[in-house]
Structures are given as structure tokens and as C-alpha cells.
Chains A and B, each alone.
Chain A
Amino acid sequence: MFRFVSLRVLTYVILAFVATSFAYLLSAWMMHPEEVLYPPIATEPVPPATAQMYLDVRNVNPDTPIFERYANWLGGLVRGDFGVTTGTNKSMVPVIDELATRIPISLRLVVIGTAIGTFLGILFGMIAAVRRDSLGDRLSTLLAFFILSLPTPVIILIVQQTNQTIMDATGWGLPAINPINPLLEAGSWASISYQIKALIMPTIVLAVTAAASYSRYMKVTTLDVLGSDYLRTARAKGLTRGKAMNRHGLRMALIPMGQYFAFAVGGAFSGSLFVELMFNWQGIGRFVISAIGMADVNGTAGVVFYTAVLTLLSATFADILQGALDPRIR
């Protein structure tokens, strides 16, 4: 099993490296940070030497060959330096600092939402498969069908509008936007309870979208397991339906789910991008939208690196889970 996991991890590391390199080269090639540097309202032209130095310091000088810039960036990456932000903001914040403040905000959303969504999806999918054609099965299948047919912004709007309607009617509701309330004293109970309340709606959105797709996959794999020989043998030995399912079926049904989970984190990231935008959370999603908008090459590459690492970690987790669940691999 160790060999299996370590081989997989090596493949993922190579993939993450290639993906990030690609993303850097692409963004360095597609984006033109020098274009956003000269505002049309500037009264006098910037001296060429100053402009050159300005671009060189940020490693975005278009006169430097792209592979030299890439080598510079790679050299920094080895030392844990992602370069500095560029674009209309001239403050040159190191990308690593920007990521460090924003990752906890996004990760909190993604991890809690994915965990709740996975749990609910597996639960509903299994119930739908075991109690086939019951009211619960029809309802959850229909609900999953509708949720998967809606784009994430519409789901967010439905949740926000529901909250707003309740608030208008009863005067009590969850905070509409913003993860924290700067008016409340930091560390006080009021501030912490506000943060928890503010987390509820974004988590509902992410959990519901994740649960919808997980429940569909889980239903299919569970139905496959229910028709299998070993489960019939277990029933023939005298186990009840529930016992056989819990002791033998669930484990086998979860194995294909592990592989699906590995790449679903990418979906959770794009989901959190909409959530951060519409709930005004200053996380990675908002950062990348503004970074791409103002041609911030280093910032974009940093975010791609973050998503690649996130996918890599979840894929490794899924492999370890698979190794633990599947007796054929050990």
C-alpha cells in the first residue's frame, strides 16, 4: 500500500508542477502588465529607464524573454517566493503574504462545505438506493436533478433571497454579506457569533451543490453493490439487509467515490469563487478575479499553484482512503 500511495503522490506532484508551469507561461504570454501601467490621465510620460526598472523589479518586463522570466519565477518558487503582485496596485505585496491571509478564509468555506456536502450526499444516495422508489428516493433524486440544473449564482441568489424574505417578514435573519463585522470588538462573543452566523449561508450553498452530485454517484455505486454476489451471500448467511449493507456494502460502494472526490475539489473551488464574490468574502476567489482582471501574472500563477496543491492533497487523501477501504490493494 505504501508503494501504491507513494507512486500516486509522485505522479500528482509532477502533474501539479507541470500545471503550474503551464499556467505561469500562459499568463505571462497572454497578459500584458505593462499596458495597465500607463494611465491615460498621466500628465507627463514616464522616463524609459524608470519604466524598465519598474517592470524588471516585478519580473514582468516584456523585453525579457519569456523563458528567462519563467526561470526567475521558478528560482523564487524553489525558495518559497512567489514574486510580488503587479497591476494597477503599485504596492508590490509579496504573493505569498496575500495568499497567507486569504487561504484561511477560502479554505474554511471549501473544507466545511465539502465535508458536509460529502456526508449528506453519501447518506442520501445510499438511502435512495436502498429504499428504491420510496418517497424519499423520488424526492432526493428530483431535488438533486434540479440543483444540478441550476448555475451556482442562481443557487446563491435563491438562498440569499429566502433569507431576505424571512428577515423582512420576521425581522430575524442571517447576515446578508461579509464574513466579519468590523464594528464589533474582535474576539468578543458578539463578533464570534456573527462570524458563525455569516458562515451558514455560504456553507449551505457549497454543501447543497456538493451533496447533489455526490448523492447521484453514490446511488449508482450503491445500486451496483446491492446487485452483487457477495451481498447476496451475506444475506444468505442470515444478516439483515441493514447489517449486510453496513458491514459489507457501504465499504465497497465508497471505493469508486474516493476517485471522484479527488477531482471534485476543483469544483468546490469554482463554487467558492462565486460564493466569495456574492457574499463579499475576501478570499482566494476574489483575489484571482481581480488578479486576472488587472494582469497580475505572479498572483495568477500563485493561485493556480494553490489549486494544484489543493487537488493534489485531496487526491492523495482519496488514495489513502481507497487503500484503507479496498482490501484488494493492500
Chain B
Amino acid sequence: MTNPHDIRGTDDAAKLRASTDPEENPMIGSTADLTTAVDTALPDDAAPAIESLGRGELLRRRFLRNRNAWVGMIVFVVLIVMAIVGPIVYQYEPFERDLRNALTGPSAYHWFGVNENGLDIFARTMQGLRISLVIGIGTALLTAFLALVVGIVAGYVSHKGKWGALADGALVNLINLFLVVPSILLLMLFSPALQRASWLWMIPLLALFAWMLTARVLRAMTQQLVRTEYVEAARFMGVHPIITMTRHIIPNVASWIIIDTTLGVSAAILGETGLSFIGFGIQYPQVSLGTVLQDYNISAPYTWIPPAAVLAALVISINLMGEALRDALDPTSGSSRL
């Protein structure tokens, strides 16, 4: 407790410290003032200090220690290489018809077989893998960006007076509104019109219906961060809100965003595949894994098992990486998380 009548300055404190014997009163007397004591503190041949790990380095080590993460990464890289190299080296195009061999199983010429329309399944699967990968990664990045902007802004303004609370309430109700109607219905409504323009429209469209839950979590996290001392201090120092957000808030939620983006890739791929499967996704000049699955024939399992297996391998590998990231980040993962 500071006594208001005590107006001694630092000079007085230094004098007091100098006049007190450190052996007698270690609280006030300081050994640091004694010039003789400094040299003996660190011997020259001391062992090197323990290397301190940065947060990123710690995360990287924990992630690489996880066996599932390695499996996921290897499968994912193999699939990417297949998607890039496959269509280049393979002799058939995704829409090349070989009607003489229609509905025949895997052979040396048609690696995955031919479906009943005479289309080569391997060529279609590889082309579909390309499209699904682009859409999955693009959608996840865009979703993360949208969720980041909306979630952080809503969380930041929610404590800033009446207007902030109003904006925040509007966002929460908007999220609930999106949740009332199954997003697949709205996607089906928009998709055909946009597909006529370009298949890449699938990315913003899927992102538009995927950011809500992430934004909700980010909003809650930001609300907690805004109350911390260093954000308050930045505010009182007159730092611009946008700089505060990029410098103090985003680094704190970054790891969570990375996990969510990783898992978002698989969610986007599943959404795109489902939509293409019912005929409202990727259209004719392009092929997606969903459109390949569309040509299934129960009496000929090779028409659907290879694309389904590729799709499953893709999604599982991404989910394995995402869960390994989550485990690496969560110190209690061994005891309280899945």
C-alpha cells in the first residue's frame, strides 16, 4: 500500500539501499550494487543455457511426433501428385467415349474400368480430384477470411456502446437465420445460375454458407481477448482499432483458424461432392468427384468404389492432419479432448 505522505523519490531509495548491508537485510540491501559480486555470477565455462522453444517450434514438434499426422500428410501429398500427374500421363480424356468397352472392369488400358456410358473412370476420377482439391482449398481459405473479418469485428464492437451491441446482435441473428434453412437448399438455388458463368463460382458460393459457425467461435474468443490488459492498454494509448486487431487479436486466434481451415477443406469437399452428386454442382465441361459418383451402378461395383475410395482417402487425410494440429495445440488433448 502506498502512503500518500511518503514522498521519497528514487534517490532516497538508492541511498537507503546503499547504506543497508545485504547480508543483514536482503530485501532492501542489494548485492547488485556491489561491483565485486557481478563477475562471479556466471563462470565462463558454464553449460549452454537450455534452448527455449518458441510457440511455433513447439507446435511443429508436437505435430511431427504424431503418427496420424504423417499418414495424413503422405496420403495428401500422394493424392496431389496423382491429381497433377494423372491427367498428363494418362491416355484417355474424361469425356472420351470408348463404347466398345462400356461397363468393363479394370484393365491395362482402363485402370479403373469403364462406366456404362463408355467413359473412363480413372481419367474422370483424376480430373475430379483436381477440381475437388481446388474447390476444397479455395473455399476453406475464403471461409476462414470471411469468418475472421466478421467474427473479429463483431467480437470487437460488441462492448463498444449501443451501436456495437446492436451490430453484434444482428450478426448472431443472421447466423441463426442461416441455420434455420438447410444450406443445401439455398446452394441448390444459386448454383445452376452461377455454374453457367464459371465452375470457380462454386468457391465463393460454398464459402458463403460455411463461415457462420467459425465466425461465432471467433466472436466469443475476441470478446475474451478485448478484455485483456494489453488490448486495453493499446486502446488507451490511442492505437487504431485495425492495428490492434491485426497485432494483438489475430495472432492469438491464429492457431485456431489454422485448424479450422484444415478441417474446412474436407467439409468443403464433402459439400461440393454432395451438391454435384444430385446434379446442382459442377456441370458438364468439368468433372468433380461427385459427378463421377453419379454414374454408380450397383451391379458393377468398380463404377463407384475407386472414386469413393479416392474421395475418402482425400477427406480422411485432411481430417487426420487437422486433428493432429488440434492435438498439438491443445495441451489437455491427452485427457479431455477427442
Contact = CB atoms under 8 A, between A and B. Distances in A.
Interface stretch (A45-53, A153-161, A250-258): A153-161
Contact of A303 (B185, B270, B273, B312): B185
Given A30-B189, A154-B312, A292-B188, A274 B181 contact: no
A36 interface: no
A150 interface: yes
A151 B270 contact: yes
Interface in B282-338: 290, 293, 296, 298-299, 301, 304, 308, 311-312, 315-316, 319, 336-338
B274 A152 contact: yes
B176 interface: yes
A19 B319 contact: no
B287 to A, nearest CB: 16
A128 to B, nearest CB: 9
Interface of A is mostly: helix
A311 interface: yes
A19 B186 CA distance: 11
Interface in B51-76: none
Contact of A219 (B296, B319, B338): B338
A224 B336 contact: yes
B122 interface: no
Given A27-B189, A157-B308, A289 B278 contact: yes
A149 B311 CA distance: 9
A254 to B, nearest CB: 18
A177 to B, nearest CB: 9
Nearest to B267: A148
A308 B180 CA distance: 6
Given A15-B177, A23-B181, A154-B311, A292 B304 contact: no
Contact of B179 (A149, A176, A263, A292): A263
B220 interface: no
B182 to A, nearest CB: 4
Centre residue among A150, A153, A164, A288 by max chain B CB count within 10 A = A153
Contacts of A150: 308, 311-312, 315
- How many residues of B sit at the interface, in one of the four size bands? 35 or more
A292 B180 contact: no
Given A18-B177, A289-B278, A151 B266 contact: no
A227 interface: yes
A293 B189 CA distance: 9
Contacts of B290: 151, 153
A26 B181 contact: no
A19 B182 CA distance: 10
Interface residues of A, number: 52
B145 interface: no
Nearest to B184: A270
A61 B179 CA distance: 31
B298 A274 contact: no
Interface in A3-38: 12, 15-16, 18-19, 22-23, 26-27, 30-31
B189 A270 contact: no
Interface in A137-193: 141, 145-146, 148-154, 157-158, 160-161, 164, 176
Interface string B185-200: 1101110110000000
Centre residue among B173, B190, B278, B279 by max chain A CB count within 10 A = B278
B182 A269 contact: yes
Nearest to B294: A153
Given A154-B311, A312-B180, 11 more contacts: A15-B176, A15-B177, A27-B189, A30-B193, A146-B316, A154-B312, A269-B184, A288-B185, A289-B188, A303-B185, A311-B181
Q: Which 10 A-B pairs have the closest CB atoms?
A: A266-B182, A270-B184, A149-B315, A19-B180, A154-B308, A149-B316, A19-B181, A151-B270, A153-B277, A151-B273
Interface of B: 173, 176-177, 179-186, 188-190, 192-193, 266, 270, 273-274, 277-280, 290, 293, 296, 298-299, 301, 304, 308, 311-312, 315-316, 319, 336-338
Interface of A: 12, 15-16, 18-19, 22-23, 26-27, 30-31, 141, 145-146, 148-154, 157-158, 160-161, 164, 176, 216, 219-220, 223-224, 227, 263, 266-267, 269-270, 273-274, 277, 288-289, 292-293, 300, 303-304, 307-308, 311-312
7 contacts: A23-B185, A26-B189, A30-B189, A149-B319, A157-B308, A277-B278, A292-B192
